[in-house]
């Protein structure tokens, strides 16, 4: 191997530090035996200092070895978690997502004397999304209350049977008293919710079995096949007859209703109005 002589250089095995070219000669390095030669030079000085050369071999049997690299085993862990949707965030233990009409009825009946609040919402409702964090805070500060969350898009048929026409919408229930109040509110009118919570949130004992939904609502749900009235307490043969009659009538109504355009959403004062 040959290289031009530089203004400054160092030889260590096969590593050379080269800075300036000198046209006065060349440096020869043998791979197995290192020999310094200076040829075709008119001067024996380098950067003002005398250079001494001899034909003596400087060292012998140098072996060039590739640098050693320590293998590193690296493992990358990739965790992919499903992002929570806004209605799934900051939920409290006393907030329950409802997935069927039967589940709604059962939760109301099993609540005993505890205050139950049904929160009707839709993923596409801006007012519902804005109000959600405050409802979660109120749920946390009132752990004895139960909040049942109903997704309108998932349970549209049930919401139609319960006559839900605006979102967000709330219903309050307790024990044998059944429904206490119902209203729609937004961030701007959250006082409605707080006032109802203060009025009906105090502990009380009611006489008689838990009522839950109204009879007409239960009949509507049973008529459309969403629940079985036979599983409900105090179910009589008269109720069974009404259920069969209502089922035939509702089949006609539902077929006409779903023959129309899909339900649209409009906005009015922060609420989402459901328009057929």
User: Which residue in the list 3, 79, 125, 205 is annotated as catalytic?
Assistant: 125
- Cβ pair 88, 95 in contact under 8 A: no
Distance of alpha carbon 159 from alpha carbon 155, whole angstroms: 6
User: Which residue in the list 4, 79, 128, 136 is annotated as catalytic?
Assistant: 128
Distance of alpha carbon 164 from alpha carbon 170, whole angstroms: 10
Spacing of C-alpha 263 from chain mean position = 27
- Cβ pair 251, 111 in contact under 8 A: no
CB neighbour burial string for 99-110, b if at least 16 within 10 angstroms, e if fewer: eebbbbbbbbbe
Distance of alpha carbon 132 from alpha carbon 126, whole angstroms: 10
Q: State yes or no: is 125 an active-site residue.
A: yes
Q: State yes or no: is 128 an active-site residue.
A: yes
CA distance to 36, 84, 196, per residue, from 128 (Å) = 86, 16, 18
Which residues are designated catalytic? Answer: 125, 128
């Amino acid at each position: 191997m040959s290289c031009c002589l530089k203004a400054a250089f160092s030889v260590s095995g096969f590593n050379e530090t080269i800075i300036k070219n000198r046209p006065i000669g060349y440096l020869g390095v043998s791979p197995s035996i290192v020999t310094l030669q200076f040829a075709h030079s008119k001067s024996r000085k380098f950067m003002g200092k005398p250079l001494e050369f001899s034909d003596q071999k400087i060292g012998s049997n140098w072996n060039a070895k590739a640098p050693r690299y320590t293998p590193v085993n690296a493992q990358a862990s990739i965790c992919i978690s499903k992002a929570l949707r806004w209605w799934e965030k900051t939920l409290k233990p006393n907030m329950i997502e409802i997935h069927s009409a039967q589940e709604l009825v059962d939760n109301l009946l099993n609540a005993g004397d505890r205050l139950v609040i049904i929160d009707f919402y839709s993923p596409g409702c801006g007012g519902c999304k804005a109000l959600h964090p405050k409802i979660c805070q109120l749920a946390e500060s009132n752990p004895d209350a139960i909040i049942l969350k109903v997704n309108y898009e998932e349970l549209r048929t049930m919401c139609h049977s319960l006559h839900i026409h605006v979102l967000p919408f709330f219903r309050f229930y307790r024990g044998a008293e059944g429904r206490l109040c119902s209203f729609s509110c937004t961030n701007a009118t959250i006082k409605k919710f707080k006032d109802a919570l203060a009025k009906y949130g105090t502990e009380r004992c009611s006489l008689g079995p838990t009522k839950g939904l109204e009879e007409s609502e239960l009949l509507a749900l049973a008529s459309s096949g969403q629940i079985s009235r036979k599983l409900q307490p105090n179910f009589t043969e008269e109720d069974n007859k009404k259920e069969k009659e209502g089922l035939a009538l509702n089949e006609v109504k539902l077929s006409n209703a779903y023959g129309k355009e899909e339900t649209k959403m409009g906005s009015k004062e922060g609420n989402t109005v459901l328009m057929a």
